[in-house]
Structure 1
């Protein structure tokens, strides 16, 4: 694996650049981006996918711990001068290691080795193949917004704005997506629960786009989102 994308969020430019210089010597990273403002880092994580995150804790506007609790993040290595955050960080699923500043090359290398197993598992879990035309096409599950029935085919709508026609009907797609966050909530639609912005008893919204919620599927939505089934 030599094509990973890493993001460093740290309000100390010198520390961030030092970490970047270490990572650049490793052959596994295709890209390494630095953001010195945590609110900009939050926006970046909403807009783009990263395989590994290096996150400082004490930052103005939005602390690292607040960011950790507000988003589903890629495997995260916390890099901080404040060891008091360690216990709280390790209670969070996305944190794979906690590195104190000043750090050494050896310590960062050990953290990356710990992270790699989760990075690989996350990539595998986030990937699915559907037959599109004459070839099997790879799709990232979290890039799919929703899937719409199209006769004996189905249309996949992606975050990028692109769409893709696949050879399976909606029921076949539903079976293939068992145990994922893509859930059939209408006879003609499968929705990605991680992208549902809001919902009521008859509709749900993905971004600003409104969709029908099948009455018989309300219990399933409540189960996946862990909300009161009498919503």
Structure 2
């Protein structure tokens, strides 16, 4: 695919998940997303209603994280948070699966956890399942992807940005191979420039999660191949 500022921008979830983020920073995030035509802003659930106010009249969606960043919340808690985020204005939910359960090979429980969140927002929001791949071997990456798809999620996502490692082209390719073509793959964690973003997309990602969206689309200038 030929990438330009417009096509690249529409793959980006413009992200601010720092615990010390304040209203001014969230407002700036929204303004930047509108100005650069990013796909969505990605924020904590407590900021969703504020983002909806800031984004009124634009086509920028809101992605809300859920069970973030450890995935260890009870399934009912995650489902409630997801449902509330949708009520406040989120169109997408980026949930963290229960990482410890996946590491323990408790696959039935992992799938049930994801299913509860999917059911809580069914018909209202797309669910992206964060695997936190830095903790996982290839077998468990494949398993996590399979469980997410079986549970009805719309995306699998590499990482939170708060765990070990981040997105790599290798793990994105593995995730792409582990799900059907109807599933999205989101690369998140350490994607800070245009070359890295394009490498992720060419490996099979369909969405990029980053706090460096402006640097990515600005960096496309001067990349002669694109």
- Which bin holds the TM-score, normalised by the shorter protein? 0.3 to 0.5
Q: Which has the larger radius of gyration?
A: 1
Q: Which has the higher contact order (CA 8 A, sep 6+)?
A: 2
TM-score normalised to structure 1 length: 0.32
**Greater fraction strand:** 1
